[in-house]
Structure 1
């Protein structure tokens, strides 16, 4: 099965420097980043290996991943604009 990768570097290539800066300077961003990366790896593993998992579970995982990405995006935009 072809799986689309969702790591932040693919999602926000224009924010690459800011991602690294916030990982180093913000504990909150670092925590969100780690959660996002771990969740992304798990979703991709389930999809790649075509493991049995109910739709509700995988959809909740993906929704949580979107929420994490949204939180980090807000932090990246604020950091970029000096906030």
Structure 2
């Protein structure tokens, strides 16, 4: 599989261990990560010209991705706390 920009490990390269721990130990995080990857792959396919979509749909997807990134970031920060 080719590299898809904005993958969670690319967004949070310093937190690979935390991401893995959250994915395996937190079902909400695992579901959130799966939804994030689905939206991110759809955006990548649209940006690559593989799929067509309206500008409004792309913007909606990008807003969803950003909101999910904010939630992921907050969960990583919480997981890093002692």
Q: TM-score, normalised by structure 1?
A: 0.89
Q: Equivalent residue for 1:49?
A: 49
* Runs of 5+ unmatched residues, structure 2: none
How many residues get paired? 79
Q: For 2:79 and 2:68, locate their aligned partners in 1 and report how far apart those are by CA, in whole Å.
A: 17
| Structure 1: stretches of 5+ with no match in the other structure | none
Residue in 2 that maps onto 1:77: 77
Runs of 4+ in 1 over 2 A off after TM superposition: none
2:36 aligns with 36
- Indicate the RMSD between aligned Cα atoms, in angstroms: 1.3
Determine the C-alpha separation between the residues in 1 that align with 2:64 and 2:51.
20
Cα distance per residue 1:4-58 (max 9 Å; x no partner): 7100111000111000000010000001000000110010011112643211110
Q: Give 1:13-24 correspondences, 5 Å limit.
A: 13-24=13-24
> Which residue of the partner structure matches residue 8 of structure 1?
8
Structure number with higher relative contact order (C-alpha < 8 Å, ≥ 6 residues apart)? 1
